[in-house]
Structure formats: structure tokens, C-alpha cells
Amino acid sequence: MESQYSASEVLEIAEKIERYGAMFYRKAAELFNEEEVRGLFLNLADWENSHEQVFADMRSRVNKDFAGSAAFDPETYMAGNAKLMASLSVFAIAPNPSQILMGLKDKKAIITRALKLENDTIVFYKGLKSFAKDAVVIGQIDKIIEEEQRHIRILNQSLEQL
């Protein structure tokens, strides 16, 4: 089993997490006729798309500046951070939002699932940040973590209103 991932590969995983997150929120929006609920999920999808672009830009920069020289060993890191490595599967392993949403029919259940996915994503990004060496990249990851935390606040507010 390959135990080394380049910085570019890890950023590609982050892109997938955001892409699949956007797909999840768009699919969730399709389940509701209420404009407020649909709008919430569509806004979240748009934000996830913008995060995907940030990670794509980072990956392009890494590929250009470092030519894949930066790598980390997830097996070593996983020893003390199994939750981080498990979070790689947040969206990356189950990209079909229909599977994630299967059996979830009401707003509360979908928002609760979205909260879990957002929290798992933050765990991954915090781990990703710990591997970053570039201050600009660290700053960008911090901004995305802050935005993901804002998503959690928005989702919690929606949950409280139910």
C-alpha cells in the first residue's frame, strides 16, 4: 500500500471533499419545495464550490512551486489521529449524495447529517493545515475552516428554528 501522499494529492482530496459537499447540498435542495430551505442548501453548495476552487488554486501553486517534493506519511500521522484519516471518506469515498441522503426525508435529519459532514471536514482540514509549510497556504486553510465553522453555525440556527 502506498503510504506517501504528495501535497498535491492531499489538496486534490480536499477538492473532492468540497465538490462532493456541493453535490450533497444540491441534492438536499432538490428534496424541498420551501424556498428558504432550498436557498440554504444551494448557498452552502455555492460556498463549497468556492472552497474547491481555493484548493485547486493551492494545488496548482504547489505543483508549480514544489513539483511534488512535499509529502507526508499518513500512517505515521494516523497513529495518533485516526479520526483525521477516517475523515478522508467524508465525501471522497461516498461521492453519491443520494447514498448519503438515503433514508433522510425531513429537514432535521438532513441538517443533522450535514452538521456531521461539516465537522468531519473541519477535522480533515485541521490535519491538512498541520502538514502545510507555507504561511499563505496555512492562512487559506484557516479561512476555509472559518467558513466551514460558519456553515455549522448556519446549520445549527436552522436546526433550532425547526
Q: Residue 101 sits in a domain of what CATH number?
A: 1.20.1260.10
CA–CA distance, 23 with 92 (Å, rounded to integer) = 12
Beta carbons of 18 and 48 less than 8 angstroms apart: yes
Beta carbons of 144 and 51 less than 8 angstroms apart: yes
Q: Which of 32-41, 46-55, 69-78, 149-158 has the lowest mean pLDDT?
A: 69-78
The total number of residues shown for the chain amounts to 162
Which comes out higher in pLDDT, residue 95 or 100?
100
Q: What is the pLDDT of residue 16?
A: 85
Q: What is the pTM of this model?
A: 0.75
Which comes out higher in pLDDT, residue 118 or 70?
118
Q: What is the pLDDT of residue 90?
A: 52
CA–CA distance, 11 with 131 (Å, rounded to integer) = 11
Number of domains in the chain: 1
CA–CA distance, 17 with 15 (Å, rounded to integer) = 5
Of 31-40, 77-86, 136-145, the range with the highest mean pLDDT is 31-40
102 is in which domain, residue-wise? 5-161
